Amino acid sequence: MTQPSAGAGVVDWPAAAQIAARLSPPGPQAPRAELDALVAGLRSAAGTAVGHVLDVTRMLPASSATPLPDVGRVAPDGSLTTALGRVVVVDRASWARANTQVMAAMTEGLGDAVLAAAGPVGPAAQLAGAAEVGAVLALLSGRVLGQFDPYSAVPGGLAGGAGSGAGRLLLVAPNVLQAERALGVPPGDFRLWICLHEQTHALQFAAAPWLAEHLAGRTRALAAGLTETSAELARARLDRKFAMIGRAVLNALRGEGGTFVEGLLTPAQKDGLAEISAVMALLEGHADVMMDAVGPRVVPSVRRIRARFERRREGEGRPGFDVVLRKLLGMEAKLAQYRDGAAFVRAVERTVGRDGLNAVWASPANLPSAREIADARAWVRRVHG
């Protein structure tokens, strides 16, 4: 393992990437020919999905977005270039490593806030942070089917900064294989269905080039505020530490305080988290509605896939420990985001149509607030008058 560098900040990110990759389970086994067909099928589905997503959403990438050369070309590294960004088919370890880059980009500049609140962060603390991040990413690596990453711009990678170009779509091949086997659905339909969801996310960020930095800025502000809470917890007596953490855990398990982290937030920080969650609910709900709106003409078994996938999302057949873990990591909140966001999108469309809904991508001011996600009519009145 690498030693922490002097400028590593709160977390030693290279070490976190190594730990995450090392701890990620390999996933289901299959003959080489089947794995090759899986990778090729996912690339093909990701390319096919772009046209359907543009059609069903009635959205277009902003004119200011960086045009991508060589659309349709498979690069030597195996990535496919589409009109909405790169598509990279990865294993679990690669997904976990990639997400340390995403987290590093989203928390860039937080080191100064931590130094001001808690003092210098030494190598031992940096490695401890790396171990925590790596372990959580390894755990999640077996659960994610696909993810659009807007923080790895093309060209230039993270150095280009958030929103400086198209991002990359990560498709986690072993998880897709495992899911389609467990669900018993047609592989071709399922792979296209997943890509419709993820390419909708790609289009959201392409249509609203400001969105990536907006989300990152809100997240950094919340994390900077959390450093004060963390510093207070670090200085607290041992009995108070256990009391604070214990309350947070119990509230999370009872569903009274959201996630474990949310149980440690101040009221102002909870408000900030609610606003970030509202944006995430919009993104996830919009993608969920659009992936189904393409319909059985494109994905013949879409209704069967949706019904079985919803049962999977709700944790049907999962052991008790897994349910507890989902609550602590905030996965129950993630499920609520899909449901609440989809309800918001459908309610807005019933009132002002799909073109009226698309006003949400015009500027940060048009994003729904936490209150408006639960009251679509309030958003319509504010934005459309």
Helices (H) and strands (E) in the chain, counts: 15, 4
Contacts of 316 (CB under 8 A, 6+ apart): none
Per-residue pLDDT at 194: 97
Q: Which stretches within the chain are classed as H helix?
A: 13-23, 32-57, 92-106, 111-118, 123-140, 173-183, 187-207, 211-235, 238-254, 267-293, 302-313, 320-328, 331-357, 370-373, 376-384
Average pLDDT value for residue range 138-164 = 67
Of 263 and 382, which is predicted with more confidence?
382
HSE, CB side, 13 Å, CA atoms: give it for residue 158.
11
336 burial class (0-12, 13-18, 19+ CB within 10 angstroms)?
Answer: middle
Average pLDDT value for residue range 213-229 = 77
CA 313, 316, 320, 321 torsion-angle sign: negative
Average pLDDT value for residue range 69-92 = 84
Average pLDDT value for residue range 196-217 = 93
Q: Which of 168, 172, 171 lies closest to 212, judged by CA?
A: 168
Per-residue pLDDT at 277: 85
pLDDT exceeds cutoff 50 at 6: no
Predicted model pTM: 0.83
Indicate the average pLDDT of the chain.
81
CA 34 – CA 12 distance, rounded (Å):
37
Dihedral over alpha carbons 202, 207, 208, 211 (to 10 degrees): 0
Q: Which residues on adjacent β-strands are paired with residue 146? A: 171
Q: Which 8-state DSSP code applies to residue 265?
A: -
Whether a cis peptide bond, with omega within 30° of 0, leads into 187 is: no
- Reported as a single tens digit per residue, the pLDDT across 307-321 is 999 888 776 555 555
CA 273 – CA 258 distance, rounded (Å):
11
Average pLDDT value for residue range 352-368 = 97
Per-residue pLDDT at 20: 93
CA 48 – CA 59 distance, rounded (Å):
17
In which residue are the tokens 């009635």 written?
A: 58
Per-residue pLDDT at 68: 57
Task: Judge contact between 10 and 111, C-beta under 8 A.
Answer: yes
Of 352 and 230, which is predicted with more confidence?
352
Q: Which 8-state DSSP code applies to residue 74?
A: B
Confidence of residue 34 (pLDDT cuts 50, 70, 90): very high
Per-residue pLDDT at 334: 59
Percent of the chain with pLDDT strictly greater than 70 = 71
Per-residue pLDDT at 160: 35
CA 31, 37, 39, 41 torsion-angle sign: negative
pLDDT exceeds cutoff 50 at 28: yes
Give the lowest-confidence range in 20-24, 217-221, 338-342, 343-347.
217-221
Contacts of 208 (CB under 8 A, 6+ apart): 62, 361, 362
Contacts of 256 (CB under 8 A, 6+ apart): none
Q: Which residues on adjacent β-strands are paired with residue 154? A: 166
